[in-house]
Every structure is written in C-alpha cells, then in structure tokens.
A = this chain, B = another copy of it.
C-alpha cells in the first residue's frame, strides 16, 4: 500500500518523548524507575532529565521529577487554537441538562478520537474518558459519525494504521461491514453505538461539520442500555444531538 520508506527519526528525541510520556502516566518518577521502565541505563535517563530540566519542561522535587506547568501553557494554547471550545462547552452544558445523560465532544487526530469535553447530566453514567483521552473511532458513535464524512481512502488509511479491534460481540470488526454502516450514517446524519465498545452502554452521536468536506468533531449522548430504548433511543436523542451539533456548527462560523 504505502511503500513509505521510513522517514529518518532521531533516537535521542524518541527517548525523551518516552520519558515525557512516562511522567505523564505516573505523575512523578525517579531516575532508576524510568530507566528500568524504558530499558535504558541510569546515566542516559539522567542526561535526558537534565536537558528537560534546563529547558524547564520538568520540575525536580528532591529526587522526583514531574512535568512542569509549561505543559499547562502548551495545553491552553492548543485549546485556544481549536476556536470552538467555548461554543462547545456552552452548548454541551445545555444538552447535558436536557438529556440528563453524559454528553461528550470529540475530534479526530492521528486516526483516533480525542475527547475534548464531557459533561454529565444528573443521572449520567461515569466513564473513564476525560479531556485529551484517545479512543478508537470504529467502535464509538462519535468516531463513526466522524468517519462517515471522510473520503474512503482516508478511512482506509486509518484502518490500516489502527486496525479494527473488537471489544464486545457487537463491535464492527470487518471493514466492508464498517463501510456499509458509514454509508447509512452519512445518509441518516447520526450514528448509534449499541454496546459496541462497552457492554451495557448505548450512545448516539452527530457530526459537527464546517463546509462540505471538513469535520470539526462530533457530539454524543451516552447512557445505560436500560434507559436508552424505544423512541427515546431511536428518535428523541438523535434529534437532540443533531440539533446541538447544528448549533455548534452555526456558532463556529462566527468565531
């Protein structure tokens, strides 16, 4: 498919990024701990941390290292760049109140869905996902509603990269099946997730588009299967997410 001679990559930088990821996942860590985890010598990790410290990307507290507040700054900047963040938060607050369920907004990056905002209604389910979390696209309503509006070759590239892992009996793991489903979703305007990622959880999602081709992200409502039934699941909630997605679309144009 893609002959793609591997682009030359820099080992030292790779190690540092692994160190950053490790600190991200463990909050704080010491030299030996990281060295063991990444299978590198203590001296190597020490040098990398010293570099990160000099550039103020980490903070040293005794012998513990943690990511510095610089990442707060970087995160804020990335968030501002999105442009639609404020619109999304406003609209999703309303939607959470209306539906009394968990509502979320996600966008695609590097072939995965990235959750940008979530807001729980009064009786909303708790989920592990939070801001910045990454998730497969093929097994969530958010993901499928985004993929439905991508050109076929882009979807194929994503499948090539990440595959179609199955989580429950309902997960779509065949690409031909997925493409059929995406077509239905594109025509209908919204996507369902009937316990495809987590058993007992049903979701509905609608895409937020900018123009004809570009997809900014998607809005979803999630709830326990016991509450997501009949007309509510098949009509009311789809209407609600579609309306919300539309509101965001319109407001996004003016920001």
Enumerate chain A interface residues (CB-CB to B < 8 A).
7-10, 12-14, 16-17, 20, 24, 27, 47-48, 50-52, 54-57, 59, 66-79, 81, 107, 109-110, 114, 116, 130-134
The count of identical subunits is: 2
Bound Cα distance from A134 to B68, whole angstroms: 12
Q: How far is the CA of A116 from the CA of B51 in the complex (A)?
A: 25
C-alpha gap A134/B72 in the complex (Å): 11
User: Which residues on the B side are within 8 Å of A77 (C-beta)?
Assistant: 24, 27, 67, 71, 132
| Interface pair B75/A76, CB less than 8 Å apart | yes
Q: How far is the CA of A27 from the CA of B78 in the complex (A)?
A: 8
Docked Cα-Cα span, A13 to B78, in Å, equals 22
With A10-B12, A50-B7, A75-B74: A81-B27 Cβ-Cβ less than 8 Å: yes
| A55 cross-chain contacts in B, Cβ below 8 A | 14, 17
List, in ascending order, chain B residues with CB within 8 A of A57's CB.
17
Residues in B whose Cβ lies below 8 Å from that of A131: 72-73, 76
What CA separation (Å) do A8 and B7 show in the bound complex?
28
- Cα(A47)–Cα(B47), bound, Å: 21
Q: A75-B78, A77-B24 are in contact. Are A109 and B68 (CB under 8 A)?
A: yes
Known: A7-B50, A7-B54, A17-B52. 15 other contacts (CB 8 A): A10-B47, A10-B51, A24-B73, A56-B109, A56-B110, A68-B109, A69-B78, A69-B116, A71-B77, A72-B132, A73-B134, A74-B132, A75-B78, A75-B132, A77-B132
Cβ–Cβ contact A109 & B47, under 8 A: no
- List B contacts of A114 (CB < 8 A): 69, 72-73
Of residues A55, A66, A75, which shows the largest number of chain B Cβ atoms within 10 Å of its Cβ? A75
- Complex: how many Å from CA A110 to CA B12? 25
In angstroms, Cα B74 to Cα A74, docked, is 9
Smallest Cβ distance from A14 to chain B, in angstroms? 6
Contact A69–B13 (Cβ < 8 Å):
no
